[in-house]
Amino acid sequence: MTSCDDNYLSIAIPTPLRQMFDYLPPDSEANLQPGMRVQVPFGPRKLVGIIEAIKPESDYPREKLRKVSAVPDQTPLIPRDIMELCRWASSYYHYSLGETLLQALPKALRQGKPATREKIALWKPTAPLDEAITQSLKRAHKQLKALQWLEKYPEGLSEPELREVGISKTVLTQLQKKQRVVVREIERVDRHFTEYANPLRQEPLTLNAKQAFALKGILACPSFHPVLLDGVTGSGKTEVYLQAIEATLKAGKQVLVLIPEIGLTPQTVRRFRSRFSVPVACLHSGLSDGERLQGWLAASRTTAGVLIATRSGIFTPLPKLGLIIVDEEHDNSYKQQDSLRYNARDLAIYRAKIADCPVVLGSATPSLETLVNARKGRYSHLEINSRAGHSRPPTLELLDIRQQILHEGFAQSLITRMQSTLDKGEQVMVFLNRRGYAPSLICHDCGEVTDCPHCDAHLTLHRTPPHMHCHHCDYQTAIPWSCPKCHSNNLQPVGQGTERCEQILEQIFPTIPLIRVDRDSTRRKNALSEILDRVQTGEPCILLGTQMLAKGHHFPDVTLVAIINADSGLFSSDFRGLEKTGQLILQVAGRAGREKKPGHVIIQTHNPQHPALQMLVSQPYSRFADSLMIERKQLKLPPESYLALFRTESSMAAAGENLLKSLRHVLLNHHQEGSVRVLGPIPAPMEKRQGRYRYQLLLQSYQRVSLHRLLDIAVKHLDSMKLPKDLRWTLDVDPQEMT
């Protein structure tokens, strides 16, 4: 700690201004440290900031500086390693350090609330689960499941923990009425995860030779080394993760596991808590502010041995960090698309370097960037090219639907195969990556399409509840009764989304349970967990959904996967379109035949001769990736080069375009050697969004250093300009989407 009486505090404040602000220490505080929260006067407001440094001098006279108003904490909430990570992220993404540091804290702490552990209500069984109790609950499956979980945790489980494994408050209340459980409110005690005699609750599975080789490669060196775990779907990557985690916990270290979607969290948390006796914390956007704070505190105070989190978890303090795992590393969800536009996968590499620990990037379909790093020797490349256990890779088949009579988008031969699969008591997955009822509503008399008034996009028709919805700006309106142009009542939906597909499948298979999984059907808290539990019963059903289904889920009884519209991603304007389409098709295909029963994948297409589709069904993913690499090299696109994208938004189209034109002029004047190409400005692919006009300026270079040097010039120039309030600009380094 530092005595601050005669020193100055350099405070990071969450404003767009890329600078620190000097303050005087408060009269009441003698000991302050970097990383501590402070409350400071900032203009007429009081804001929460972070002490970035304590220094003996300031560029401003002492009498001109204001004092810190309050110091909420006794110790730093942002330790040195997270401070270093945030400094690097702020520099690399050219973003305000104040906003970066505050993003590293849960919302409750950003608002200045105390960093204290809550009182917790724990549910405990009143008696051991014996045969008599089991028999008495044989018709109450959910209640029995709750008691079985509580039996594993004699210290008790909280309501949020039970919700994560699909046990609701209603079930607990029913058991309480039967005097099978009691609830006790206690002070939460932070017990260090290393105090558990044995971190294992469940014995590990026996690894096959390839899994064992991969595990050995991960554990070969406890210091920093990035590893690409390149394993086909169903190859048992998760078991390798679990055994690597076990070794790390036994060494007295914590583990950070990043997953791309909150939809994977219940399944992952359940599996991890079944395996490990140490506390497993989780952080994702589906939790309340209070729940996120408690998870953050459990990780930062070493109560939790394992933290499972979506992308923002990369900023969570873990004082004894010994391993980072990034599952499905190729997934776009790791890239933040607003404010600080960071890629959690890339920050994971840098954080592992700071912590001097291994980092594992796992995927069946690695991104081209990661493959290049592995092939250049920057990462270890561990491959598992066969499935674990008795399961075999599914067979992939292209179904040519040209000139076929389709039943509302389904070929008759596909319907026959689905019926045959269901008749055998197995499950079918139908994949359609478009939610809603229909992507557009058209007037059959004049051809007018119902458009969003705020975006260059059609409104999507939804039936539950009935409305028109823009998936870009969230605008909603009633379904029109007549055409606004010719006043005809002959309005017809065009195309199909998951709602319409659900309606069609219910007509074709009226006796078969149909389970729809998309953003609309899973909005309610724990809805996805409950849906997935229904699938796990093994009863014949049709599972219909969007890309939410493609991400790491294990459905042991799904033996047939139908991809309804494989063509939608083949002709994307985004240069990454084919890569994303190939990854998505193979990830969806990987849900089939994951146990002993063989799996089949049928891909409906109007383009059966397309080279990408031909390669996906007949060659390993690595060959598909090789073909994309050749194209990228020819076009000088990532991973062959580096990109940065400036975007502007304004209510007047000319304002954003003119700003980027002036920026282009400045950059070309500063940069004569030509190592960075400045392309544009041009309208964004969707020029109008949320009522604002969008323009883009792209910078491209083979040299990352040259690119960032020019970005520094660009950002300083833009920061120095007095812009209209209506005009906003953003910078996206390593953009994943060009829209």
ω before 639 within 30° of 0 (cis)? yes
Per-residue pLDDT tens digits for 416-429: 999 999 999 999 99
Task: Return all residues near 629 (Cβ < 8 A) that are at least 6 apart.
Answer: 368, 371, 372, 639
Amino acid code (one letter) for 584: L
- Residues 332-355: what's their mean pLDDT? 97
Which residues are 514's β-sheet partners? 542
Mean pLDDT score, 146-167: 84
pLDDT of residue 277: 87
The mean pLDDT value for 60-82 works out to 93
Q: Which residues of 672-686 are buried (b: 16+ CB within 10 A; e: fewer)?
A: eeeebebebbebbee
Kindly give, in sequence order, each residue whose CB lies less than 8 Å from that of residue 15, ignoring residues fewer than 6 positions away: 42, 96, 98, 99
| Residue 29 scores a pLDDT above 90 | no
* Distance separating alpha carbons of residues 140 and 412, to the nearest angstrom: 41
Kindly give the residue spans of alpha helices, DSSP state H, lying in 477-609. 498-508, 527-536, 577-589
- Report the alpha-carbon distance of residue 430 to residue 691 in Å, rounded: 35
Confidence of residue 188 (pLDDT cuts 50, 70, 90): low
Continuous H helices in 251-288: 265-275
pLDDT band of 187, cuts 50, 70, 90: low
CB atoms within 10 A of CB 597: 18
Q: Which two tokens stand for residue 457?
A: 């996009």
Give the end-to-end CA distance of the chain in Å, rounded to a whole number: 48
Beta carbons of 403 and 609 less than 8 angstroms apart:
no
Higher-pLDDT residue of 214 and 539 is 214
Which single residue is written with the structure tokens 């010719």?
486
Is residue 713 pLDDT above 80, yes or no?
yes
Computed over every residue of the chain, the mean pLDDT equals: 91
Q: What is the dihedral of CA 555, 559, 561, 562, to 10 degrees?
A: -140
Q: Is the pLDDT of residue 117 over 90?
A: no
CA angle 390, 266, 324 (to 5 degrees): 80
Average pLDDT over residues 505-530: 84
Q: What is the DSSP letter of 458?
A: B
* Cα separation, 18 vs 12, whole angstroms: 9
Mean pLDDT of 346-351: 99
Burial call 499-527: b when 16+ CB within 10 Å, e when fewer: bbbbebbeeebeebebbbbbebbbeeebe
**135: CB partners within 8 A, 6+ apart:** none
Name residue, tokens 């990462």: 379
Instruction: Read off the DSSP letter of residue 650.
Output: E
CATH class of 642-733: alpha beta
CA–CA separation, 434 vs 407, rounded Å? 18
Fold held by 193-384: Rossmann fold (3.40.50)
Q: How many CB atoms lie within 10 A of CB 366?
A: 26
Specify the 3-state DSSP secondary structure of 257: strand
Has residue 163 got a pLDDT over 90?
no
Domain boundaries, the chain: 2-110, 119-187, 193-384, 395-437+496-631, 642-733
Residue pair 384/236 in contact (Cβ under 8 Å)? The answer is yes
CB 212 within 8 A of CB 218: no
Q: Average pLDDT for residues 42-46, to the nearest whole number? A: 91
What single letter denotes the amino acid at residue 599? G
Point out which residues pair with 42 in neighbouring strands. Answer: 45
pLDDT at 286: 82
Find how far residue 233's CA is from the centre of its chain: 19
- Tell the residue number behind the tokens 């967990």, with chain if given: 529
Give, for 719, the enclosing helix (H) or strand (E): helix 704-720
For residue 1, name the pLDDT band (cuts at 50, 70, 90).
Answer: very low
Q: Which stretches of 551-670 are DSSP H helices?
A: 577-589, 611-618, 621-635, 653-670
Amino acid at 461: L
Question: What is the rounded CA–CA span in Å between residue 314 and residue 346?
Answer: 10
- 365 exposed, middle or buried (CB, 10 Å; 0-12, 13-18, 19+)? buried
Residue range 342-369: mean pLDDT, rounded: 98
Q: Name the band, by pLDDT with cuts 50, 70 and 90, for residue 265.
A: low
Cα–Cα nearest to 408, from 507, 542, 263, 303: 507
CA dist 378 and 375 (Å) reads 8
- How would you write 295-318 as a 3-class SS string? HHHHHHCCCCCEEEECHHHHHCCC
Residue 212 · residue 184 · CB < 8 Å: no
Q: Please state, for a pLDDT cut of 90, what percent of the chain lies above it.
A: 67
Q: Which amino acid is at 543?
A: L
DSSP string, 201-246: SSPPPPP-HHHHHHHHHHHS-SSSEEEEEEE-TTS-HHHHHHHHHH
Two tokens at 316?
């969570």
Cα 344 from Cα 332, distance rounded (Å): 10
Of 13-22, 159-168, 317-326, minimum mean pLDDT range: 159-168
Assign 508 to helix, strand or coil.
helix
Burial class (CB in 10 A: 0-12, 13-18, 19+), 418: buried
Q: Helix (H) and strand (E) counts for the chain?
A: 21, 33
pLDDT at 671 over 90: no
pLDDT tier for residue 264 given thresholds of 50, 70 and 90: low
The confidence score (pLDDT) of residue 87 equals 97
Backbone torsion region of residue 252, taken as left when φ is above 0, otherwise alpha when ψ lies between -120 and 50, otherwise beta: left
Residue 288 CB contacts under 8 Å (≥ 6 apart), including other chains: none
Label residue 447 by pLDDT band (50, 70, 90). Answer: very high
Mean pLDDT of the region 703-720: 95
Q: Coil, helix or strand for 731?
A: strand
Whether the predicted pLDDT of 2 surpasses 50? no
The residue written with tokens 């939608």 in the block is 568
Q: What is the pLDDT of residue 135?
A: 86
User: Cβ contacts of residue 74 below 8 Å, gap of 6+?
Assistant: none
pLDDT of residue 654: 94
Residue 139: which pLDDT band, with cuts at 50, 70 and 90?
confident
Cβ-based neighbour number of residue 279 at 10 Å = 21
Position 632 scores a pLDDT of 95
Please give the Cα distance from 88 to 610 (Å, whole number): 43
For 215-248, the pLDDT digits (tens) are 999 999 899 999 999 999 889 999 999 999 999 9
Task: With beta carbons less than 8 A apart as the criterion, state whether 414 and 556 touch.
Answer: no
The pLDDT tens digits for 316-340 are 999 999 999 999 999 999 999 999 9
Predicted pLDDT at 5: 63
What pLDDT does residue 256 have? 98
pTM confidence score: 0.89
Asked if the domains at 193-384 and 395-437+496-631 fall in one CATH topology, the answer is yes
Alpha-carbon gap, residue 280 to 201, rounded angstroms: 12
- Can you tell me the distance from the alpha carbon of 308 to that of 434, in angstroms, rounded to the nearest whole number? 28
Q: At what angle do helices 209-219 and 237-250 cross, to 10 degrees?
A: 40
- 563 within 8 A of 585, measured Cβ to Cβ: yes
Q: Just give the CATH number of 2-110.
A: 3.40.1440.60
CATH superfamily, with its number, for domain 395-437+496-631: P-loop containing nucleotide triphosphate hydrolases (3.40.50.300)
Give yes or no for a contact between 78 and 101, defined as CB atoms under 8 angstroms apart. yes
State the residue for tokens 């490349």.
Answer: 381
Q: What is the pLDDT of residues 79-114, one digit of tens each?
A: 999 999 999 999 999 999 999 999 899 999 999 988
Q: Which of 258-267, 302-311, 370-379 shows the lowest per-residue confidence on average (mean pLDDT)? A: 258-267
Residue 497: which of 448, 456, 461 has the closest Cα? 461
